[in-house]
């Protein structure tokens, strides 16, 4: 097969070279970028990662083989476990970490020779079956991600089982119904889950992530910018939850959604066995979105460069119910710990209104000399309806002016000499001012041919920084000066 032959370390080249027509078509297809990346995969660059995986696999199997049947007695009731786990969550326990901690199992085994492994060639052990090829497993997960799907064991198993070309380019062949075990056969779901578990628990996915980011920075594939942008994302948790009633430190009764409990054992009477309770879906929580929309799911914090649109890092939030503004600072600290080479270049961080906090801005300024720019969050500021220019109905806390016709005025810029914000009536789809045929024109702007223009004192919006108001950058550009001068002269 075109893409199945292992890369030989030394010795005789393969005598038989089989080419599959489907693989040839995919290799030459302009839409199958994923196939070419996997076909020309530079496996030599991942040899050290492969060594770590095989040693971690040995540790993992040895630990499971030596597990003792004895367990520490745990007489905790289910009701007690519910409250214990509840008060360990970062949304209640302020000492708990906000982001999922990067704590991994240390690899103690050191038995694999880096020169003795390659695609299709796995290390020999004194006993047991030969392990599946790391490079084939690794390419399977990477390939699914390249095709735009979640690189999770279930999805990888589906592609390996249903797409023969994908299985071949990764380094596997299908297993017949009566075939005996062979380490090159397509793995089952349990083997893929085990591979993902080992790569996660021993920190190999994390190691690979940072190696790739650093390599891209060194090779200028990712260009360092002077700004970072942060945000959070979420995905639905397909798990059950229950509503827990508890008392806070002030004795006030509260309710909170929490994942249901389970035990990591196979005891027939699990409710009465001595194994400890744990959350069935650790990290899941209730995420509150705009419009009173509630989502039971998981949350991740993301940091990246805005101009290139490239994420540098994504970290799982320990409790999805965590307020977004709390996740930014610890994530930036983590990013700079892993990429100290970019810290001195970052002058500004952009975020949404969740980080509109002066205390947080001061913290970034004091610790990193970085300016935090966040969207306006007016919080308790009320809508203004009195003292507005004629024809205007209200002024929202976000600085939006609504006229008596129910239309939002367009923000146009600032007059710094007179300390005024400038607004003008919008235009319709034909480019004509909406004031022309407005029923309120006679009482609002009878003589304004180009539509109503108003000026608002800075004092009417004290919570908006007039040195950097919404859209101020665009209207400070020199190319707009002549346009605004024309408007100012007409007012």
pTM of the model: 0.77
pLDDT value of position 485: 41
Least confident span in 227-241, 265-279, 338-352? 265-279
Provide the 3-class DSSP secondary structure of residue 44. Answer: helix
Least confident span in 24-28, 124-128, 138-142? 124-128
Residue 225 clears pLDDT 50, i.e. is over it? yes
3-state helix, strand, coil in the chain (%, to 5): 35, 20, 45
Residue 385 clears pLDDT 60, i.e. is over it? yes
Residue ranges of domains in the chain, CATH in brackets:
21-75+94-215 (no CATH), 222-239+281-374 (3.30.420), 392-490 (no CATH)
Phi and psi torsions of 257, nearest 5°: -80, 140
Residue 491 clears pLDDT 50, i.e. is over it? no
What average pLDDT does this structure show over 312-330?
A: 95
| 8 A C-beta contact, residue 89 and residue 28 | no
Contacts of 148 (CB under 8 A, 6+ apart): none
Query: In which band, very low, low, confident or very high, does the pLDDT at 65 lie, cut at 50, 70 and 90?
Result: confident
| 8 A C-beta contact, residue 418 and residue 455 | yes
pLDDT value of position 104: 94
DSSP state of 285: E
Q: What is the distance between the terminal CA atoms of the chain, rounded to a whole angstrom? A: 77
As a whole number of angstroms, the distance between CA 51 and CA 147 comes to: 27
What average pLDDT does this structure show over 323-348?
A: 95
pLDDT digits (tens, 9 = 90+) for 282-307: 999 999 987 788 999 999 999 999 99
Residue 75 clears pLDDT 90, i.e. is over it? no
Phi and psi torsions of 48, nearest 5°: -65, -40
Contacts of 145 (CB under 8 A, 6+ apart): 151
As a whole number of angstroms, the distance between CA 40 and CA 31 comes to: 16
Comparing C-alpha atoms, which of 26, 20, 22, 50 is closest to residue 38?
A: 26
Tokens, residue 232: 């959070």
Query: In which band, very low, low, confident or very high, does the pLDDT at 12 lie, cut at 50, 70 and 90?
Result: very low
Sign of the C-alpha dihedral computed for residues 272, 273, 279 and 281 taken in this order:
negative
Query: In which band, very low, low, confident or very high, does the pLDDT at 13 lie, cut at 50, 70 and 90?
Result: very low
Strands 401-403 and 392-395: antiparallel
Contacts of 438 (CB under 8 A, 6+ apart): 405, 444
Residue 415 clears pLDDT 90, i.e. is over it? no
Instruction: Look at the block and give the residue holding tokens 């400890």.
Output: 276
The larger pLDDT score, comparing residue 441 to residue 378, is at 441
Instruction: Look at the block and give the residue holding tokens 């990712």.
Output: 222
In terms of DSSP H, where are the helices of 430-470?
441-444
| 8 A C-beta contact, residue 93 and residue 87 | yes
pLDDT value of position 126: 67
pLDDT value of position 407: 93
pLDDT digits (tens, 9 = 90+) for 431-488: 899 998 899 998 899 888 888 999 999 888 887 777 765 544 333 333 334 433 443 3
| 8 A C-beta contact, residue 353 and residue 406 | no
């Amino acid at each position: 097969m075109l893409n199945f032959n292992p890369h030989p370390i030394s010795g005789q080249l393969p005598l038989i070279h089989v080419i599959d027509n489907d693989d040839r078509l995919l290799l030459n297809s302009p839409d199958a970028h994923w196939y070419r990346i996997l076909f020309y995969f530079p496996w030599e660059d991942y040899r050290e990662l492969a060594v770590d995986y095989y040693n971690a696999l040995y540790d993992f199997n040895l630990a499971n083989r030596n597990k003792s049947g004895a367990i520490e007695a745990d007489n905790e009731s289910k009701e007690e476990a519910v409250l214990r786990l509840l008060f360990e969550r970062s949304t209640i326990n302020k000492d708990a970490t906000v982001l999922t901690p990067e704590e991994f199992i240390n690899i103690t085994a050191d038995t694999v020779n880096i020169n003795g492994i390659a695609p299709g060639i796995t290390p020999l052990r004194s006993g047991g079956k030969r392990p599946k090829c790391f490079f084939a497993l690794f390419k399977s997960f990477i390939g699914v991600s390249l095709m735009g799907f979640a690189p999770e064991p279930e999805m990888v198993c589906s592609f390996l089982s249903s797409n023969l070309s994908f299985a071949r380019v990764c380094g596997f062949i299908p297993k017949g119904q009566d075939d005996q075990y062979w380490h090159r056969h397509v793995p089952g779901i349990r083997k893929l889950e085990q591979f993902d578990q080992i790569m996660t628990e021993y920190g190999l996915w994390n190691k690979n992530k940072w190696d790739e980011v650093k390599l891209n920075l060194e090779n200028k594939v990712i260009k360092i910018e002077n700004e970072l942008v942060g945000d959070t994302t979420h995905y639905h948790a397909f798990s059950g939850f229950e509503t827990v009633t508890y008392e806070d430190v002030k004795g006030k009764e509260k309710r909170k959604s929490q994942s249901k409990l389970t035990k990591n054992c196979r005891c027939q009477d699990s409710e009465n066995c001595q194994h400890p309770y744990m959350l069935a879906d650790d990290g899941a929580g209730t995420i509150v979105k705009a419009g009173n929309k509630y989502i039971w799911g998981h949350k991740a914090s993301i940091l990246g460069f805005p101009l290139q649109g490239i994420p540098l890092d994504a970290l799982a939030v320990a409790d999805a119910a965590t307020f977004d503004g709390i996740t930014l600072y610890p994530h930036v600290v983590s990013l700079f710990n892993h990429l100290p080479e970019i810290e001195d270049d970052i002058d500004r961080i952009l975020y949404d209104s969740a980080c509109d906090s002066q205390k947080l801005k001061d913290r970034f300024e004091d610790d990193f000399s970085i300016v935090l720019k966040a969207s306006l969050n007016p919080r308790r500021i009320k809508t203004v309806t009195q003292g507005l220019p004629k024809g205007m109905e209200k002024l929202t806390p976000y600085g939006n002016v609504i006229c008596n016709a129910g239309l939002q005025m367009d923000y146009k810029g600032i007059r710094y000499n007179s300390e005024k914000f400038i607004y003008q009536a919008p235009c319709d789809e034909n480019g004509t001012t909406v004031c022309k045929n407005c029923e309120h024109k006679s009482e609002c702007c009878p003589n304004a041919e180009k539509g109503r223009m108003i000026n608002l004192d800075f004092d009417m919006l004290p919570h908006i920084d007039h040195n950097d108001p919404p859209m101020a950058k665009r209207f400070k550009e020199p190319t707009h000066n002549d346009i605004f001068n024309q408007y100012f002269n007409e007012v």
